[in-house]
Amino acid sequence: MATIPGSTPTLTQLLRGGDIVMAPGASDALTARLVEAAGFPAVYMTGFGATAVRLGTPDLGLMTQTEMTTHARDMARAVTIPIIADADTGYGGPANIARTVDEYVQAGVAAIHLEDQMAPKRCGQLAGIKLISAEENVRRLKCAIDARGRAPLLIIGRTDAMPAVGADEAIRRAKLYQDAGVDMVFVDGIKKIGEIEAVARAVEGAKVVSIVDGNETTQLTARDLQQMGFAVVLYAVSALFSAAKAIRDTLEALRAEGTPKSREPAMMTYAEFSDLVDLEAFKKRDDTFGWS
């Protein structure tokens, strides 16, 4: 459905409000609608989730620029809240990075993060990450900032140095990326509370943190993270993992029992789902403008 520009706060306005921006991950447009319906102020277009739902594979740099930006456009059509999108490594050299920025601007997302991994990249939670030099990534980020021009797109400099080489290098890179002029920095691959605390103490300014299910960091609340000085918290896989388990449980019950009856209490009703996808608005338009 078409959205009205300015009808919801922009990401910049949210950041100026002072409260931490909670952005659950959405792997598709339907999940993005659920995030908005739940009352969250922003949504995160997770590359991990996009890869899972489009390709059914791990997040190992298999998604192309075109696939990711198309995914972003589909999501932007579905919601009015700001979208923070994964832009991987920018998909190539300076010309590729400039095109990536332009494509995401046209898609209507509010922010993208660009990471310092060597291609082919992989999920920040996985072992075996290889990094480009910090200096090379500074040039990449400056290229993205230049390509943005005056477009209302925030650039987030992401480093995956934490799992690859440790906290000291991750913090050094985050500061370099701030000096390059990015709007926020994001140290990914954090698995321990101590790592979050180290980043919070050492890195001033606007910063992003990702809380990944299964790690001890889920003990920290959004309020805790705000007090540490984080501006945005991403919950990249919470909805995806929840949905995958629910689907698996329903299919196992259907296979074993020959009916989905026992799983109905865990499902949305047809009416609830129709509300989620805004069926009534489509019917109203057909009734008003349709022809026989």
Q: Where are the domains of the chain?
A: 11-239, 245-289
Integer Cα distance of 268 and 273 in angstroms = 6
Report the pLDDT value the prediction gives residue 129, as an integer from 0 to 100: 82
Q: Where are the alpha helices (DSSP H) in 10-160?
A: 11-16, 29-37, 47-55, 65-78, 94-107, 134-148
What pTM does this model have?
0.93
Residue 117 is classified by DSSP as B
Confidence of residue 244 (pLDDT cuts 50, 70, 90): very high
Q: Residue 100: which residues within 8 A CB-CB, separation 6 or more?
A: 65, 69, 87, 90, 91, 112, 144
Interior angle at CA 119, CA 116 and CA 121, nearest 5? 70
In the chain, % of residues over pLDDT 90: 90
* 3-class DSSP state of 112: strand
- Residue 112's CB is within 10 A of a number of other CB atoms, namely 29
Q: How confident is the model at residue 246, as a pLDDT?
A: 97
Average pLDDT on 172-200 reads: 97
**Would you call 123 a catalytic residue per the annotation?**
yes
The per-residue pLDDT of the chain, averaged, comes to 94
Looking at the predicted structure, is the pLDDT value of residue 150 above 50?
yes
DSSP state of 231: S
> How does pLDDT run across 249-272, given as a tens digit for each residue?
999 999 999 999 999 999 999 999
Catalytic residue among 107, 123, 209, 234: 123
Range of lowest pLDDT (123-127, 133-137, 262-266, 275-279): 123-127
Say yes or no: domain 11-239 is CATH 3.20.20.60: yes
| Confidence bin at 119 (pLDDT 50/70/90) | confident
